[in-house]
């Protein structure tokens, strides 16, 4: 499955006219020289309250030169200026996804998401899409196909149920230049002919390699032991391979208008010195990937790295501190995890528990207080009422111990909050990274049943957060659950739709979950632009279309400010500008 398909994005049928407009000789030039790029004849929604709307914007190099009316902006055109006639289209600041797991997404780039697949046509479609993005000769992997169908069959107690057995000839036809290895729900495997050639599997191979009873030929199905042996032969995830995937993910980011991300990241030099009790850094991206892309000029999003809270004291040794970095890769925020689900006043006996990543209350309090004293900002992933309540205790204790300062503390996801804790969060002036699909994936009816009507009111109370003084970011949590049972939509337009309707983009006619908690369209745009810039202390250089700020912009196919909500789902990014350069144009 392509990442673009995960997000439900389709650009077919949308065209965008990029035309050069020539003015008579003698055009007016700014003292510092003409603009390098001008966007005119449109609606510029600046997210700058000093000038919310304009017609045109001029860029010079990597910065915004001027925002204003067509005439004054076109006066900045020189002989080498590219001019984009917007034809009335909407321009916004480039989108900023404040919570991603980039290296995980890079790993998924080479995989097909097949847990829900139990149909030959569906499998072939996903493999065909994977061959479009993965370079020839590189492995395509995936697992565990037929899982959901098997689980459904178990619940129904269906005798004789069989999972899908792929047809080798059909798979070979769509993957002639890519080796493929897939795992099934029962830990059997499938390998295509190109994969067999690399693994030296042939007609003379012995037990564990399934054969057609009529012809005696290999079918591609492998027993568990044989499949595990092949899996051990797969090439390692070298930096070179990760950079291939990274370039592909960046293309998808730019295609949906993303020009900044805030990524859960680690410094490999520090990680390699640790003895971990469990794989606690499995969701942290290696910052080295970004540094390699910067060196080659291929990084087309700005990255603010949230590094592990527990390593705060080690960062100075590698030259990282609060506010360090530059406009391409910046630091200063720390991340940790507390998963608790329902632990206070459980409903119908449903409770949660802390996960393997939680190091204990004393350790969390100690690390938060010490890192705060050193000037770092902190964001903690909290799933559940108790997790959030404890986090607020720790933040309050750090403030009491270290005194007042400008803090940009976050509560990430913030499930099942109580009204009292939302009020506390507001007093602390916290930032909430909220993930619309996590609400919608749980199901409107299921949440009411799970929590009860009263507790459900504040479970995902985004409007209440804003009213209490919490600043809200809309985030994706890309790519999804580590076990691949849920995939995160990362298209900002889809997440904006969900934020202003509290509905699933896949079911726009369905019910809304507590619609009184919807954001306005203006608030949702801020939650993808200026708010995340504030969260990373970069509101003075990005997040709005303001003269002097970085030239990161997105052009949309329609005006989502005046459109009906369902029209947002039909809106497409037609141009993405990063660092003053067009990095994506719609076909």
> Do the Cβ atoms of 93 and 553 come closer than 8 Å?
yes
pLDDT of 278: 87
pLDDT of 441: 80
- Which residues are CB-neighbours of 296 under 8 A, at least 6 positions away? none
Buried b / exposed e over 457-470, threshold 16 CB at 10 Å, is bbbbbbbbbbebeb
What whole-number distance in Å separates Cα of residue 457 and Cα of residue 455? 5
Distance between start and end Cα atoms, the chain: 20
Torsional sign, CA 394, 398, 401, 403: negative
Other beta carbons within 10 angstroms of residue 150's beta carbon come to: 20
What whole-number distance in Å separates Cα of residue 355 and Cα of residue 480? 17
Q: In DSSP terms, which residues pair with 191 in a beta bridge? A: 181
- Interstrand relation of 573-578 and 553-556 (parallel, antiparallel or unpaired): antiparallel
pLDDT of 24: 35
What whole-number distance in Å separates Cα of residue 47 and Cα of residue 44? 9
What whole-number distance in Å separates Cα of residue 140 and Cα of residue 545? 41
Tokens of 548: 């002097």
- Which residues are CB-neighbours of 526 under 8 A, at least 6 positions away? 47
Q: What is the dihedral of CA 192, 198, 199, 204, to 10 degrees?
A: 80
> What CATH fold (topology level) applies to the domain 103-233?
Diaminopimelate Epimerase; Chain A, domain 1 (3.10.310)
The torsion angles phi and psi of 541, rounded to 5 degrees, stand at -125, -10
Question: Position of tokens 């949660």?
Answer: 352
> Do the Cβ atoms of 181 and 146 come closer than 8 Å?
no
What whole-number distance in Å separates Cα of residue 467 and Cα of residue 41? 36
* Chain center to CA of 524: 16
Residue 155: Cβ-neighbour burial (10 angstroms; 0-12, 13-18, 19+): exposed
What whole-number distance in Å separates Cα of residue 159 and Cα of residue 49? 65
What whole-number distance in Å separates Cα of residue 433 and Cα of residue 462? 10
Tokens of 87: 């034809």
Domain range list for the chain: 103-233
Residue 64, CB half-sphere, CA atoms under 13 Å: how many?
A: 26
pLDDT of 483: 79
> Do the Cβ atoms of 102 and 285 come closer than 8 Å?
yes
- Report the run of H or E that residue 530 belongs to, with start and end: helix 530-535
What whole-number distance in Å separates Cα of residue 416 and Cα of residue 198? 50
- Interstrand relation of 573-578 and 431-434 (parallel, antiparallel or unpaired): unpaired
> Do the Cβ atoms of 338 and 352 come closer than 8 Å?
no
Torsional sign, CA 429, 433, 437, 441: negative
What whole-number distance in Å separates Cα of residue 11 and Cα of residue 571? 9
Q: At what angle do helices 385-402 and 419-427 cross, to 10 degrees?
A: 30
* Chain center to CA of 182: 25
Task: Using alpha carbons, select from 249, 243, 234, 344 the residue that is nearest to residue 292.
Answer: 243
* One pLDDT digit (tens) per residue for the chain, 587 residues: 444 443 443 333 333 333 333 333 333 344 478 999 999 999 999 999 999 999 999 999 999 999 999 999 999 999 999 999 999 999 999 999 999 999 999 999 999 999 999 999 999 999 999 999 999 999 999 999 999 999 999 999 888 898 999 999 999 999 999 999 999 999 999 999 999 999 999 887 878 899 999 999 999 999 999 999 999 999 999 999 999 999 999 999 999 999 999 999 999 999 999 998 888 899 999 999 999 999 999 999 999 999 999 999 999 999 999 999 999 999 999 999 998 777 776 666 666 788 888 889 999 999 999 999 999 999 999 998 999 999 999 999 999 999 999 999 999 999 999 999 999 999 999 999 999 998 888 777 778 888 888 888 999 999 999 999 999 999 999 998 887 878 899 999 999 999 999 998 988 888 899 999 999 999 999 999 999 999 999 999 999 999 999 999 999 999 999 999 999 999 999 999 999 999 999 99
What whole-number distance in Å separates Cα of residue 329 and Cα of residue 321? 13
DSSP state of 154: H
Q: In DSSP terms, which residues pair with 382 in a beta bridge? A: 338, 413
Tokens of 225: 């032991």
Query: Can you tell me whether residue 290 is helix, strand or coil?
Result: helix
């Amino acid at each position: 499955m392509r990442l673009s398909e995960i997000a439900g994005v389709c650009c077919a049928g949308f065209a965008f006219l990029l035309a050069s407009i020539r003015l008579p000789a003698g055009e007016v030039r700014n003292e510092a020289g003409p603009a390098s790029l001008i966007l005119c004849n449109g609606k510029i929604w600046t997210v700058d309250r000093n000038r919310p709307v304009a017609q045109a914007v001029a860029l010079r190099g990597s910065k915004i030169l001027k925002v204003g009316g067509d005439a004054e902006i076109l006066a900045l055109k020189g002989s080498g200026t590219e001019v984009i006639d917007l034809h009335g289209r909407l321009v916004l600041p480039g989108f900023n996804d404040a919570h991603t797991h980039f290296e995980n997404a890079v790993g998924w780039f080479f995989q097909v998401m097949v847990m829900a697949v139990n149909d030959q046509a569906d499998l072939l479609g996903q493999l065909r899409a994977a061959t479009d993005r993965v370079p020839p000769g590189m492995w395509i992997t995936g697992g565990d196909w037929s899982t959901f169908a098997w689980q459904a069959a178990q619940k129904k107690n269906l005798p004789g149920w069989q999972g899908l057995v792929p047809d080798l000839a059909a798979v070979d036809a769509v993957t002639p230049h890519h080796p493929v290895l897939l795992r099934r729900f029962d830990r059997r495997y499938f390998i295509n002919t190109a994969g067999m050639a690399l693994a030296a599997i042939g007609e003379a191979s012995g037990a564990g390699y399934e054969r057609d009873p009529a012809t005696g030929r290999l079918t591609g199905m492998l027993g568990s032991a044989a499949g595990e042996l092949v899996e051990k032969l797969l090439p390692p995830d070298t930096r070179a391979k990760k950079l291939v995937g990274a370039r592909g993910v960046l293309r998808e980011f730019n295609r949906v208008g993303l020009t900044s991300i805030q990524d859960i990241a680690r410094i490999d030099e520090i990680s390699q010195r640790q003895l971990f009790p469990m794989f606690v850094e499995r969701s942290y991206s290696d910052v080295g990937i970004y540094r390699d892309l910067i060196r080659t000029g291929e990084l087309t999003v700005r990255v603010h790295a949230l590094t592990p809270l527990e390593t705060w004291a080690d960062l100075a040794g590698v030259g990282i501190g609060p506010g360090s970095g530059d406009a391409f890769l910046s630091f200063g925020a720390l991340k940790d995890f507390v998963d608790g689900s329902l632990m206070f006043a459980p409903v119908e006996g449903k409770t949660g528990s802390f996960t393997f990543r939680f190091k204990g209350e004393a350790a969390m309090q100690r690390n938060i207080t010490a890192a705060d004293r050193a000037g770092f900002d902190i964001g903690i992933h909290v799933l559940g009422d108790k997790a959030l309540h404890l986090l607020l205790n720790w933040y309050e204790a750090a403030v009491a111990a270290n005194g007042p300062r400008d803090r940009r503390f976050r509560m990430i996801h913030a499930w099942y909050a109580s009204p009292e804790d939302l009020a506390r969060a507001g007093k602390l002036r916290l930032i909430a990274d909220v993930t619309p699909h996590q609400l919608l994936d749980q199901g409107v009816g299921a949440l009411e049943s799970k929590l009860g009507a009263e507790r459900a009111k504040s479970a995902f109370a985004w409007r209440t957060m804003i009213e209490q003084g919490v600043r809200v970011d809309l985030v994706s949590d890309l790519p999804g659950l580590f076990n691949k049972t849920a995939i995160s939509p990362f298209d900002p337009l889809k997440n904006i739709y969900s934020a202003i309707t509290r509905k699933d983009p896949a079911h726009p006619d369905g019910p809304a979950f507590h619609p009184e908690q919807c954001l306005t369209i203006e608030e949702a745009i801020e939650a993808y632009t200026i708010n995340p810039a504030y969260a990373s202390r970069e509101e003075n250089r990005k997040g709005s279309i303001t003269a002097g700020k970085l030239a990161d912009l997105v052009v949309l196919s329609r005006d989502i400010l005046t459109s009906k909500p369902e029209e947002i789902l039909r809106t497409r990014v037609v141009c993405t500008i990063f660092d003053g350069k067009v990095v994506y144009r719609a076909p």
